[in-house]
A = this chain, B = another copy of it.
Amino acid sequence: MKAVVHRGLGGQELLAYRNVPDPVPDPGEVVVHLKTAGLNHRDLFVMKDRAHPEREWIPGSDGAGIVEAVGAGVENVRPGDRVVIHPTLGWERADEIPEVPAILGGPSAGTFAELVAVPAANVFAKPDFLTWEEAGVLPLSALTAYRALFGRGRLKPEESLLVTGIGGGVATYALMMAKAAGASVAVTSRSADKLRKALALGADLALDNAADWASVPGMRKADLILDSVGGALFPRFFALLNPGGRIVSLGASSDARIELSLRELFFSQFGLIGTSMGSREEFIEMLHFVETHRIRPVVDSVRPLSDAASAFDRLVSGSQFGNLAIRISD
């Protein structure tokens, strides 16, 4: 099969597009013929921090396609099923967090290939209303956003949400999911273009990082801040929160090291809560939520599998709005 492979320690410049042996399903596994795949920042982290850089490896955690073969003992999945792939491995229940959550494509063989072998428990019926490109970029971003908002952040209807760094996959899902849940949503960015796109996508308020947010007309205090920026914005957060407000942290595109006052934290009963990916239980809930509210991923652009490296160039540049998709087969 054709695949994009990585060897060594470094970024997308080490990717190569070439023929590799087809995977064969182990007992309990299925092999999916991929239609599409999606990019995540996590792919880049794994490329730069691999335990065995001398081994060739296929990246990619997100994908959708048609089941081609099933291994021994697989009963509920059949060849021909149209599926999306749940990317985390061995994490069943939301509050039973594994020591080191494993994930498809890190370091097992991932979705940047014509075929991928995954546990049968990790494939779910593709929502009919999504295109293959939309289904291919859905899994990890939507799962991460869903857990961050509802599981870890306990967002309630009528609450007020602030999403920092709008533009990335998780942030755009968070915006759409929170609006669907009835919350009001403000978003932040350094880019006027991304702020315009977020308003078109339903954001109630768009905040330029250069502005004094508290003085922006229409600004209200937040019950929940969903943050992937970290240190560059963190010093602003406590003053923006209602009593009992939560900050859910899922990334640090700026400094990861922050300082805070415990006195402010306990007096106002704030919470600072870390989150990462999500469990199989939450993937099922997320799919149900996405289908109920007909939430379509924002696809920034689509490239063929042979151009995966240039898709990563765009991800690294930070200029995308939404998710980057890879077209693998028709």
Contact = CB atoms under 8 A, between A and B. Distances in A.
Interface of A: 95, 97-99, 152, 230-231, 234, 243-244, 249-252, 256-276
Contacts of A272: 265, 271-273
Contacts of A262: 230-231, 234, 249, 252, 256-258, 274
Contact of A250 (B256, B266, B271): B266
With a 10 A CB-CB cut-off, give which of A152, A244, A250, A262 has the most chain B CB atoms.
A262
Contacts of A244: 95, 97
Nearest to A259: B259
Contacts of A261: 256-257
Given A249-B265, A251-B266, A266-B249, A99 B276 contact: no
Given A252-B262, A258-B259, 8 more contacts: A97-B243, A97-B269, A249-B262, A256-B261, A262-B274, A267-B274, A271-B271, A271-B272
B274 A271 contact: yes
Contacts of A252: 262-263, 266
A270 B97 CA distance: 10
This protein's copies in its complex: 2
A274 B262 CA distance: 8
Nearest to A277: B269
Contacts of A269: 97, 152, 274-276
B275 A243 contact: no
Contacts of A276: 266-267, 269
Nearest to A272: B272
B259 A268 contact: no
A233 to B, nearest CB: 11
Nearest to A100: B243
Contacts of A95: 244
A275 B259 CA distance: 19
A100 to B, nearest CB: 8
Interface core residue of A98, A234, A258 (most chain B CB under 10 Å): A258
A276 B265 CA distance: 10
A251 B268 CA distance: 12
Contacts of A256: 261-263
